[in-house]
Structure 1
Amino acid sequence: MEYESLDVADVVRLTPQVFGDERGFFLETFRQNEFEKYCGPYHFVQDNHSRSTRGTLRGLHYQFKRPQGKLVRVTRGEVFDVAVDLRRNSLTFGKWVGVHLSETNKQMLWVPPGFAHGFYTISEVAEFQYKCTDYYAPGDECCIRWDDPDLSIQWPMRNANEVIVSEKDSKGNFFSCTEFLF
């Protein structure tokens, strides 16, 4: 596995070594001791799997009192995945980083606790899987608007009017109006 630190502090792109032949492929998606060496001493307690259609944008989600770290990957299709640093004492507070994750590149993204996270579905369908460092707590989830002008995230969409968001996500807060505990 190759671990690459990105432009926002503590966010890491993981690129697995893929062994393939005419039968298919094999890759290792997680190894605790290597993950701790490059990303920190985190342990995962919950795995999640979502399916989204083209144009779906999920996020930008974060947990207020029980922040989750997420190790994310795409097993079908392609998404543009975004992490926004919400840690007030970080040198990259308020900065974002985005990467393309797909079934083809098989890359993963480590999004540490204290970040907002979201993704935009580029392919016709995408299946998105992720490991979490804390359990989902519905009453603790918060959302920042995906189109927040202060963040200016460069989503790879042709037309913002074609974006599909949940009712909850459409009512997200603006970054400048958001509270952070971390």
Structure 2
Amino acid sequence: MHQSSQNPSNTNKVIWEWTARIHSRKSECDSTYNVILFLGAVPKNPEEWLTSPNLVGKHSVLISSYRTGGRGLDVTEGFVHLDNGIVKHSGLNSLEPNEVVPYLTRELDWRVQKIDGSIAHLDTLEVVVFATPMTLPPGGMFPVPGRPHRYNSITYGRPGGSKEADDALE
């Protein structure tokens, strides 16, 4: 977590946590795969994706040869924390939404790669960014999470991006 602003009376500190939610259906791919997230340029060579300095995280989906066939078990969801990558790559002075949203809209990218290194395309893939304000009360040891804000606009209109255009509180 990174501190991004303080109340002028110095009573509470607001800390923003940024995460990408990755959602897809396992049945769409015939082997284990990774959804790999980048901030900045994605290497042209898929063999370099997992060692790229622009890699900020990945969501791995294990596909078993034994399938239960249950539709509920077909959906996979994971989260990749973006704070460290934003701080490392962006040069921004804060993690406030008014600075981070334009940056992520420009720089966040993702790819899907099967375990054998080949590229996969998933029609059900949805990558959506969330920001959660965390308030650190005076003298408090642990931040208290506020209501997460879903930023559909960061990934909307791109393959595998948000299916909804408007941003919303969750």
Q: Which interval holds the TM-score relative to the shorter structure?
A: under 0.3
TM score, norm. by length of structure 1: 0.25
Bigger Rg over Cα: 2
Structure 1 or 2: more helix by fraction: 2
TM score, norm. by length of structure 2: 0.26
